[in-house]
Amino acid sequence: MSTVLVCDGSPLIREQLRRAVNGVQGVEKVVMAATEDEAIEHVRAQPPDLVLVDAALTQRGGAGAVRRIRAADPSARVLLLTRPEDPDAAVVAAVAAGARGYLRKDASRAEVRVAVGQALTEPHSNGAGTDGDGDHSPPPALTERELEVLAGMCEGQSNAEIGRGLYLSEDTVKTHARRLFRKLGAADRAHAVAIALRRGLVR
């Protein structure tokens, strides 16, 4: 049976997540924290199986919170809680710091349960953005140009910035992005970046 720690500054969000996570098969206990320091105390005292942490909780941002949690427990699984307006670069930095992925705060209860269930059952991570046991399926057949666009996304660049660097129009970059999203099975660029970093598709 698993323990999940929910760390968010909003009592309403914490309660919504608690109710959703309680419905995940195998979850026995949901622990609540309102601040990053509270979360770290919980992790040190009794490491949970999964931590959901608000990306905007501290000035250090999501990446800083992920690093602190993983410093307290190197085997910690962390999902970043994001808002629709959070920049992709913040998600990229958190994944690079070791987050397993991200979960939108406006996700439905069903989406929360799927994300938490997957995070609890996938292999532990040995380091930032990589899986210990790894995803052994063959990597998707991305073209050289798609990999270049993906690399730009991993650096937090906008489509326009990627286009300028590759001498492509923004519309052309968007076309390559749509194709690589489809090949990766990614919902959006933040999801694509998480997959790319986890599977070692970019350096």
The CATH number linked to 149 is 1.10.10.10
> Which tens digit of pLDDT belongs to each residue from 184-201?
888 777 778 878 877 777
- What is the end-to-end Cα distance of the chain in Å, rounded? 36
Please, which residues have CB within 8 angstroms of residue 138's CB and are 6 or more apart in sequence? none
Whole-number pLDDT of residue 126: 38
> Which tens digit of pLDDT belongs to each residue from 148-157?
999 888 877 8
Which CATH number do you get for residue 17? 3.40.50.2300
Same domain, 39 and 102: yes
Whole-number pLDDT of residue 125: 46
Same domain, 24 and 87: yes
Domain end (from 51, 86, 121)? 121
Whole-number pLDDT of residue 45: 93
Count, residues in the chain:
203
> Which tens digit of pLDDT belongs to each residue from 1-53?
899 999 999 999 999 999 999 989 889 999 999 998 999 999 999 999 999 99
Half-sphere exposure (Cβ direction) of 153: Cα atoms closer than 13 Å: 28
> Which tens digit of pLDDT belongs to each residue from 88-141?
677 777 877 888 888 888 888 898 898 898 888 876 543 333 333 344 455 678
Whole-number pLDDT of residue 59: 59
Range of the domain at 34: 2-121
0.85 cut: is pTM over it?
no
Whole-number pLDDT of residue 124: 55
pLDDT score of 165 more than 50: yes
Whole-number pLDDT of residue 133: 35
DSSP type of residue 9: S
Q: Do residues 92 and 190 make contact, with C-beta atoms less than 8 angstroms apart? A: yes
The CA distance from 129 to 195, in Å, is 9
Q: Is residue 42 part of a domain?
A: yes
Q: Is residue 192 part of a domain?
A: yes
Same domain, 101 and 185: no
Same domain, 42 and 81: yes
Same domain, 32 and 64: yes
Whole-number pLDDT of residue 33: 94
Question: Number of folded domains in the chain?
Answer: 2
Choose between 79 and 87: higher pLDDT.
79
pLDDT score of 202 more than 90: no
Q: Is residue 139 part of a domain?
A: no
> Mean pLDDT, to the nearest integer, of 53-58?
81
Same domain, 63 and 156: no
The CA distance from 166 to 101, in Å, is 28
Q: Do residues 135 and 153 make contact, with C-beta atoms less than 8 angstroms apart? A: no
Whole-number pLDDT of residue 90: 74
Whole-number pLDDT of residue 128: 37
Q: Is residue 28 part of a domain?
A: yes
The CA distance from 183 to 140, in Å, is 6
Q: Is residue 126 part of a domain?
A: no
The CA distance from 18 to 172, in Å, is 42
Edge-to-edge strand order for the sheet containing 101-104?
27-33, 2-7, 50-54, 78-82, 101-104
